[in-house]
Protein backbone atom coordinates (compact mmCIF):
# COMPACT_ATOMS: atom_id res chain seq x y z
CA UNK A 1 0.00 0.00 0.00
CA UNK A 2 1.29 3.43 -0.91
CA UNK A 3 -0.95 6.21 0.28
CA UNK A 4 1.46 9.16 0.17
CA UNK A 5 4.68 10.39 -1.38
CA UNK A 6 7.47 11.19 1.04
CA UNK A 7 10.33 10.94 -1.40
CA UNK A 8 10.90 9.27 -4.75
CA UNK A 9 14.11 7.42 -5.50
CA UNK A 10 14.69 7.00 -9.22
CA UNK A 11 17.07 4.09 -9.85
CA UNK A 12 18.67 3.91 -13.30
CA UNK A 13 21.00 1.08 -14.40
CA UNK A 14 23.45 2.11 -17.12
CA UNK A 15 26.01 0.33 -19.24
CA UNK A 16 27.49 2.45 -22.01
CA UNK A 17 24.58 4.86 -22.40
CA UNK A 18 26.56 8.09 -22.97
CA UNK A 19 24.32 9.21 -25.84
CA UNK A 20 21.10 8.59 -23.90
CA UNK A 21 21.59 9.23 -20.21
CA UNK A 22 21.81 13.02 -20.13
CA UNK A 23 18.38 13.64 -21.64
CA UNK A 24 16.77 11.03 -19.38
CA UNK A 25 18.24 12.46 -16.18
CA UNK A 26 17.61 16.10 -17.12
CA UNK A 27 13.98 15.36 -17.95
CA UNK A 28 13.46 13.59 -14.61
CA UNK A 29 15.24 16.39 -12.73
CA UNK A 30 13.10 19.10 -14.35
CA UNK A 31 9.80 17.29 -14.70
CA UNK A 32 9.32 15.14 -11.62
CA UNK A 33 7.07 17.12 -9.34
CA UNK A 34 7.97 15.48 -6.00
CA UNK A 35 10.93 15.43 -3.58
CA UNK A 36 13.38 13.06 -5.22
CA UNK A 37 16.82 11.54 -5.56
CA UNK A 38 18.30 10.10 -8.74
CA UNK A 39 20.58 7.08 -8.34
CA UNK A 40 22.57 5.84 -11.33
CA UNK A 41 24.14 2.40 -11.02
CA UNK A 42 26.74 2.16 -13.72
CA UNK A 43 28.45 -1.04 -14.83
CA UNK A 44 31.80 0.74 -15.22
CA UNK A 45 30.95 2.10 -18.68
CA UNK A 46 33.81 2.95 -20.99
CA UNK A 47 32.00 5.48 -23.19
CA UNK A 48 31.85 8.41 -20.78
CA UNK A 49 28.47 7.63 -19.12
CA UNK A 50 29.91 7.90 -15.59
CA UNK A 51 31.59 11.21 -16.33
CA UNK A 52 28.37 12.71 -17.72
CA UNK A 53 26.44 11.67 -14.59
CA UNK A 54 29.17 12.91 -12.25
CA UNK A 55 29.37 16.28 -13.98
CA UNK A 56 25.68 16.94 -13.40
CA UNK A 57 26.37 17.07 -9.67
CA UNK A 58 22.87 16.19 -8.43
CA UNK A 59 22.85 12.41 -9.01
CA UNK A 60 24.16 9.70 -6.77
CA UNK A 61 26.54 7.57 -8.87
CA UNK A 62 27.30 4.00 -7.86
CA UNK A 63 29.80 2.06 -9.95
CA UNK A 64 29.19 -1.69 -9.94
CA UNK A 65 31.60 -3.43 -12.32
CA UNK A 66 29.96 -6.86 -11.93
CA UNK A 67 27.61 -7.54 -14.86
CA UNK A 68 23.87 -7.82 -14.51
CA UNK A 69 20.78 -5.63 -14.95
CA UNK A 70 19.16 -7.17 -11.87
CA UNK A 71 22.25 -6.78 -9.74
CA UNK A 72 22.53 -3.10 -10.68
CA UNK A 73 18.89 -2.46 -9.77
CA UNK A 74 19.20 -4.35 -6.51
CA UNK A 75 22.20 -2.28 -5.45
CA UNK A 76 20.46 0.93 -6.44
CA UNK A 77 17.35 -0.02 -4.46
CA UNK A 78 19.45 -0.90 -1.43
CA UNK A 79 20.81 2.65 -1.47
CA UNK A 80 17.42 4.28 -2.04
CA UNK A 81 15.92 6.44 0.71
CA UNK A 82 12.51 7.23 -0.77
CA UNK A 83 9.28 5.46 0.16
CA UNK A 84 8.64 4.98 -3.56
CA UNK A 85 11.21 3.60 -5.97
CA UNK A 86 11.10 4.21 -9.70
CA UNK A 87 13.12 1.84 -11.84
CA UNK A 88 13.76 2.91 -15.40
CA UNK A 89 16.34 2.23 -18.12
CA UNK A 90 18.94 4.87 -18.89
CA UNK A 91 18.68 4.30 -22.63
CA UNK A 92 16.08 6.94 -23.49
CA UNK A 93 13.48 4.38 -24.65
CA UNK A 94 10.90 5.09 -21.93
CA UNK A 95 8.96 8.33 -21.58
CA UNK A 96 10.26 9.43 -18.17
CA UNK A 97 7.73 12.30 -18.06
CA UNK A 98 5.16 9.62 -17.30
CA UNK A 99 6.60 9.06 -13.81
CA UNK A 100 4.16 11.71 -12.60
CA UNK A 101 1.13 9.80 -13.90
CA UNK A 102 2.49 6.53 -12.45
CA UNK A 103 2.84 8.11 -9.01
CA UNK A 104 -0.60 9.71 -9.20
CA UNK A 105 -2.15 6.33 -10.05
CA UNK A 106 -0.17 4.60 -7.31
CA UNK A 107 -1.47 6.98 -4.66
CA UNK A 108 -5.03 7.02 -5.99
CA UNK A 109 -5.29 3.22 -6.04
CA UNK A 110 -3.09 2.60 -3.02
CA UNK A 111 -1.04 0.18 -5.15
CA UNK A 112 2.19 -1.63 -4.36
CA UNK A 113 3.47 -1.44 -7.91
CA UNK A 114 2.56 0.51 -11.04
CA UNK A 115 4.00 -0.72 -14.33
CA UNK A 116 4.18 1.50 -17.39
CA UNK A 117 2.76 -0.65 -20.19
CA UNK A 118 3.94 -0.16 -23.75
CA UNK A 119 1.21 -2.32 -25.23
CA UNK A 120 -1.22 0.52 -25.94
CA UNK A 121 1.34 2.72 -27.67
CA UNK A 122 -0.03 3.49 -31.15
CA UNK A 123 3.50 3.97 -32.52
CA UNK A 124 4.46 0.34 -31.82
CA UNK A 125 8.18 1.04 -31.53
CA UNK A 126 8.97 -2.28 -29.87
CA UNK A 127 10.78 -4.72 -32.19
CA UNK A 128 8.68 -7.68 -33.39
CA UNK A 129 10.86 -10.31 -31.64
CA UNK A 130 10.68 -8.47 -28.30
CA UNK A 131 6.94 -7.93 -28.75
CA UNK A 132 6.19 -11.61 -29.40
CA UNK A 133 8.54 -12.81 -26.62
CA UNK A 134 6.95 -10.37 -24.21
CA UNK A 135 3.41 -11.46 -25.16
CA UNK A 136 4.21 -15.15 -24.62
CA UNK A 137 5.97 -14.51 -21.28
CA UNK A 138 3.14 -12.24 -20.12
CA UNK A 139 0.49 -14.82 -21.05
CA UNK A 140 2.24 -17.52 -19.01
CA UNK A 141 2.90 -15.22 -16.10
CA UNK A 142 -0.72 -14.02 -15.94
CA UNK A 143 -2.02 -17.58 -16.25
CA UNK A 144 0.23 -19.06 -13.59
CA UNK A 145 -0.08 -16.23 -11.06
CA UNK A 146 -3.68 -15.11 -11.80
CA UNK A 147 -2.75 -11.59 -12.82
CA UNK A 148 -3.97 -9.28 -15.59
CA UNK A 149 -0.80 -7.51 -16.73
CA UNK A 150 -0.16 -6.67 -20.38
CA UNK A 151 3.59 -5.90 -20.30
CA UNK A 152 5.53 -7.96 -17.77
CA UNK A 153 8.82 -7.02 -19.40
CA UNK A 154 8.40 -3.31 -18.81
CA UNK A 155 11.47 -2.04 -17.01
CA UNK A 156 9.65 1.16 -16.05
CA UNK A 157 7.91 0.75 -12.69
CA UNK A 158 6.93 2.59 -9.54
CA UNK A 159 7.38 0.33 -6.54
CA UNK A 160 6.60 0.58 -2.85
CA UNK A 161 9.94 0.54 -1.04
CA UNK A 162 8.41 -1.28 1.89
CA UNK A 163 6.97 -4.00 -0.36
CA UNK A 164 10.19 -4.60 -2.26
CA UNK A 165 12.16 -4.74 0.98
CA UNK A 166 9.92 -7.56 2.15
CA UNK A 167 10.69 -9.95 -0.75
CA UNK A 168 13.90 -11.75 -1.55
CA UNK A 169 15.15 -11.25 -5.10
CA UNK A 170 17.94 -13.45 -6.39
CA UNK A 171 17.98 -13.12 -10.18
CA UNK A 172 21.01 -11.07 -11.25
CA UNK A 173 20.11 -10.28 -14.85
CA UNK A 174 17.02 -9.60 -16.98
CA UNK A 175 14.87 -12.23 -15.17
CA UNK A 176 15.04 -9.94 -12.10
CA UNK A 177 12.07 -7.95 -13.42
CA UNK A 178 9.91 -11.11 -13.71
CA UNK A 179 11.06 -12.51 -10.38
CA UNK A 180 9.89 -9.28 -8.76
CA UNK A 181 6.39 -9.73 -10.24
CA UNK A 182 6.25 -13.35 -9.09
CA UNK A 183 7.21 -12.47 -5.53
CA UNK A 184 4.72 -9.59 -5.45
CA UNK A 185 1.94 -11.83 -6.81
CA UNK A 186 2.70 -14.44 -4.16
CA UNK A 187 2.57 -11.87 -1.38
CA UNK A 188 -0.77 -10.61 -2.70
CA UNK A 189 0.67 -7.16 -3.42
CA UNK A 190 -1.35 -5.12 -5.91
CA UNK A 191 0.16 -4.52 -9.34
CA UNK A 192 -1.52 -2.24 -11.84
CA UNK A 193 -0.56 -0.60 -15.14
CA UNK A 194 -0.69 2.80 -16.78
CA UNK A 195 -0.10 3.28 -20.50
CA UNK A 196 3.12 4.82 -21.72
CA UNK A 197 4.84 5.44 -25.04
CA UNK A 198 8.05 3.83 -26.14
CA UNK A 199 10.90 4.90 -28.40
CA UNK A 200 13.48 2.82 -30.24
CA UNK A 201 17.03 3.11 -28.90
CA UNK A 202 18.94 5.93 -30.66
CA UNK A 203 22.43 5.33 -29.33
CA UNK A 204 24.37 2.20 -28.32
CA UNK A 205 23.53 -1.47 -28.40
CA UNK A 206 20.87 -3.45 -26.49
CA UNK A 207 22.40 -5.51 -23.68
CA UNK A 208 19.51 -7.93 -23.81
CA UNK A 209 20.55 -11.38 -25.02
CA UNK A 210 17.16 -12.61 -26.12
CA UNK A 211 17.67 -16.34 -26.06
CA UNK A 212 19.55 -16.46 -22.74
CA UNK A 213 17.11 -14.06 -21.07
CA UNK A 214 14.09 -15.90 -22.49
CA UNK A 215 15.26 -19.19 -20.99
CA UNK A 216 16.01 -17.51 -17.65
CA UNK A 217 12.63 -15.77 -17.53
CA UNK A 218 10.67 -18.93 -18.35
CA UNK A 219 12.56 -21.00 -15.81
CA UNK A 220 11.91 -18.26 -13.21
CA UNK A 221 8.17 -18.46 -13.95
CA UNK A 222 8.11 -22.26 -13.74
CA UNK A 223 10.35 -22.46 -10.65
CA UNK A 224 8.10 -20.00 -8.90
CA UNK A 225 4.97 -21.97 -9.76
CA UNK A 226 6.03 -25.23 -8.16
CA UNK A 227 5.22 -24.51 -4.53
CA UNK A 228 1.98 -25.85 -3.12
CA UNK A 229 0.63 -22.44 -2.17
CA UNK A 230 0.83 -21.11 -5.74
CA UNK A 231 -0.82 -24.24 -7.12
CA UNK A 232 -3.63 -23.97 -4.58
CA UNK A 233 -4.23 -20.30 -5.36
CA UNK A 234 -4.27 -21.01 -9.10
CA UNK A 235 -6.84 -23.75 -8.65
CA UNK A 236 -9.03 -21.44 -6.57
CA UNK A 237 -8.80 -18.67 -9.18
CA UNK A 238 -9.71 -21.13 -11.92
CA UNK A 239 -12.70 -22.43 -10.05
CA UNK A 240 -13.89 -18.88 -9.44
CA UNK A 241 -13.64 -18.03 -13.16
CA UNK A 242 -15.45 -21.25 -14.16
CA UNK A 243 -18.24 -20.58 -11.67
CA UNK A 244 -18.99 -17.19 -13.29
N1 LIG B 1 24.86 -1.30 -14.48
C2 LIG B 1 24.43 -2.11 -15.45
N3 LIG B 1 23.45 -1.71 -16.28
C4 LIG B 1 23.05 -2.55 -17.26
C5 LIG B 1 23.59 -3.83 -17.45
N6 LIG B 1 22.97 -4.43 -18.50
C7 LIG B 1 22.06 -3.54 -18.95
N8 LIG B 1 22.11 -2.40 -18.23
C9 LIG B 1 21.27 -1.21 -18.36
O10 LIG B 1 19.94 -1.63 -18.11
C11 LIG B 1 19.02 -0.98 -18.98
C12 LIG B 1 18.27 -2.05 -19.79
O13 LIG B 1 19.12 -2.66 -20.74
P14 LIG B 1 18.83 -2.58 -22.32
O15 LIG B 1 20.08 -2.87 -23.05
O16 LIG B 1 18.18 -1.28 -22.64
O17 LIG B 1 17.84 -3.76 -22.52
P18 LIG B 1 16.52 -3.69 -23.33
O19 LIG B 1 15.68 -2.56 -22.80
O20 LIG B 1 15.94 -5.02 -23.30
O21 LIG B 1 17.04 -3.36 -24.82
P22 LIG B 1 16.64 -2.14 -25.83
O23 LIG B 1 15.52 -2.69 -26.65
O24 LIG B 1 17.85 -1.83 -26.63
O25 LIG B 1 16.22 -0.97 -25.00
C26 LIG B 1 19.86 -0.02 -19.83
O27 LIG B 1 19.83 1.26 -19.24
C28 LIG B 1 21.25 -0.62 -19.77
O29 LIG B 1 22.27 0.33 -19.95
C30 LIG B 1 24.66 -4.24 -16.54
O31 LIG B 1 25.22 -5.33 -16.62
N32 LIG B 1 25.02 -3.33 -15.58
MG1 LIG C 1 16.14 -0.63 -22.93
Quote the pLDDT of residue 125. 80
Quote the pLDDT of residue 24. 97
At residue 244 the predicted structure's pLDDT band, cuts being 50, 70 and 90, is low
Q: In this predicted model, what pLDDT tens digit does every residue of 137-196 receive, in sequence order? A: 999 999 999 999 999 999 999 999 999 999 999 999 999 999 999 999 999 999 999 999
Ligand 2 mean position to 235 CA, how many Å?
A: 36
Mean pLDDT of 221-231: 83
Percent of the chain surpassing pLDDT 90: 80
The ligand placed nearest to the CA atom of residue 73 is: 1
Contact 162, 187 (CB under 8 A): no
At residue 60 the predicted structure's pLDDT band, cuts being 50, 70 and 90, is very high
Q: In this predicted model, what pLDDT tens digit does every residue of 62-72 receive, in sequence order? A: 999 999 999 99
26: CB partners within 8 A, 6+ apart = 56
Mean pLDDT of 24-40: 96
Protein residue whose Cα sits closest to atom 22 of ligand 1: 206
Q: In this predicted model, what pLDDT tens digit does every residue of 191-218 receive, in sequence order? A: 999 999 999 888 998 777 888 999 999 9
Residues with CB under 6 A from ligand 1: 13-15, 17, 41-43, 64, 67-69, 72, 89-91, 93, 155, 201, 206-208
Protein residue whose Cα sits closest to atom 28 of ligand 1: 14
Residue 241 has pLDDT above 80, yes or no: no
Ligand 1 mean position to 12 CA, how many Å?
A: 10
The ligand placed nearest to the CA atom of residue 174 is: 1
Quote the pLDDT of residue 240. 74
Ligand 1 mean position to 103 CA, how many Å?
A: 23
Mean pLDDT of 127-137: 93
| CA pair distance 129, 137, nearest whole angstrom | 12
| CA pair distance 151, 155, nearest whole angstrom | 9
Percent of the chain surpassing pLDDT 70: 99
pTM for the whole structure? 0.93
7: CB partners within 8 A, 6+ apart = 34, 35, 36, 37, 81, 82, 83, 84
Strands 59-63 and 84-87: unpaired
13, 40, 70, 153, best to mutate for ligand 1 pocket (most atoms within 8 Å of CB): 13
Protein residue whose Cα sits closest to atom 24 of ligand 1: 206
73: CB partners within 8 A, 6+ apart = 11, 13, 41, 87, 176
Mean pLDDT of 224-244: 76
Please compute, for residue 187, the number of CA atoms within 13 A of its CA located in the half-sphere on the CB side: 19
Ligand 1 mean position to 242 CA, how many Å?
A: 41
Mean pLDDT of 120-147: 91
Amino acid sequence: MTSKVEMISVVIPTLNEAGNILEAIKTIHEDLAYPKEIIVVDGNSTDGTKEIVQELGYCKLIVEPRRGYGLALKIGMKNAKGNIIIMVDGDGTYEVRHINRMIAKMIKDDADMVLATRMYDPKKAMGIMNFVGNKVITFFFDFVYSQFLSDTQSGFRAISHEAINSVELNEGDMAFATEMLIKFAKEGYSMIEVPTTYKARKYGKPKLRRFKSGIEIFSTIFKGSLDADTIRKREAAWKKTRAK
